[in-house]
Copies of this chain bind each other. A is one copy, B any other.
Amino acid sequence: MKKLINDPQAVVKETIEGFGWAHADIVSVSIDPDFVSRAGGAVAGKVGLVSGGGSGHEPLHAGFVGVGMLDAAVPGAVFTSPTPDQIAPAFAAANGGAGVLAIVKNYTGDVLNFETAVELAEADDIEVATVIVNDDVAVEDSLYTAGRRGVAGTVLVEKIAGASAERGDDLAAVTAIAQRVNTNAKSMGVALTACIVPHAGEPSFDLPEDEIEIGIGIHGEPGRRRIPLASADDITEMLLTPVADDLALAAGEDVLLFVNGMGGTPASELYIVYRQARKLLEARGVKVTRSLVGNYVTSLEMQGASVTVLRLDSELTALWDAPVHTAALRW
């Protein structure tokens, strides 16, 4: 295992400590309990947005804390849910008196621990609504999930719901926006290589040198099938077609096209995937009006990518375009 780390058990704390120093204008970092929140604290009267989950998917979620997006992020150990006693203080840190929306990727551990944290927060009179993100069309039920997994679409939920909260929407409205993004965002990914969880020290799964896994999860959970390495254009079609079909995209619709890197794939390859995904959407008569390409929801150093399509309407587009100022997304 070759990694730029010290003690494998200290990876998360050292990461968020460095992250906090690098972005002290945007975030504050709490150690024990570990969470990241907005510099300057909760915004009075604004709905607070909190997300979290296992580490190893950086910049998700801490990289999305800041104006226009999250109020707090809670990192668990690598690929392991954060605990309720981490999440509850993050709810408190994000609460500006208008309640909190928890954005939770659909993994059994995350769902349970966020539920417990919601109970703890409500005992302290903090109102918390929850949206479960489950955008991955690859498989139904999985290694850590009942139903569909939450993957790259999470960043779209966080951005758009964040803009909704920022413009002053109340908790019910922000929750409805987040739910609408989740309903209209679908994703599917591919792995070329496995990654190594630091405290495990060996690859999370075995993938032969001449095979790739279509429909991979962001923790290396099994996808739909393994196939011999194919061209980027063919692989992209294997990802985009189930996504577009699941959304039942019709000619004339506007979409946001998001090509996400799994961490170890060069930017050049992501743009080659983007190019083909866009061609395929245009061949269906679908218009790509917004785009995002880069490493946003990663699996450590895994090589691979995912394709996410979000059906847009004028309100979601305006919320996407609204200003955002976080470490990893800024305009």
Contacts and interface: CB of A to CB of B under 8 A. Distances in A.
Interface of A: 2-6, 11-12, 14-19, 21-23, 55-56, 58-59, 63, 190, 192-193, 209, 212, 229, 231-233, 235, 263-275, 278, 288, 291, 293, 295, 298, 300-301, 303-305, 325, 330-331
A28 B272 CA distance: 17
16 contacts: A2-B212, A2-B303, A4-B190, A5-B269, A6-B232, A18-B274, A21-B274, A21-B275, A21-B278, A21-B288, A21-B291, A22-B274, A55-B268, A58-B268, A325-B331, A330-B330
A300 B17 CA distance: 28
A229 B201 CA distance: 14
A11 B272 contact: yes
Contacts of A63: 267
Nearest to A277: B18
Given A23-B291, A303-B301, A4 B272 contact: yes
Given A2-B303, A14-B275, A231-B6, A22 B293 contact: yes
Contacts of A288: 21
B298 A14 contact: no
B267 A18 contact: no
Contacts of A212: 2
Contacts of A16: 271
B266 A56 contact: yes
A47 to B, nearest CB: 25
Q: Pick the 8 closest A-B CB pairs, nearest first.
A: A18-B275, A18-B271, A4-B269, A58-B267, A22-B291, A15-B268, A2-B192, A4-B232
A4 B295 contact: no
A266 B293 CA distance: 17
Interface centre among A269, A274, A331 (most CB of B within 10 A): A269
A271 B190 CA distance: 26
Contact of A4 (B263, B301, B305, B325): B305
A271 B232 contact: no
Given A266-B298, A301-B265, A4 B58 contact: no
Given A291-B22, A291-B23, A303-B301, A6 B266 contact: no
A288 B268 CA distance: 32
B330 A266 contact: no
Contacts of A265: 4, 301
B293 A267 contact: no
Contact of A266 (B14, B263, B304): B263
Contacts of A267: 58-59, 63, 263, 295, 298
Contacts of A55: 268
Interface centre among A190, A274, A288 (most CB of B within 10 A): A274
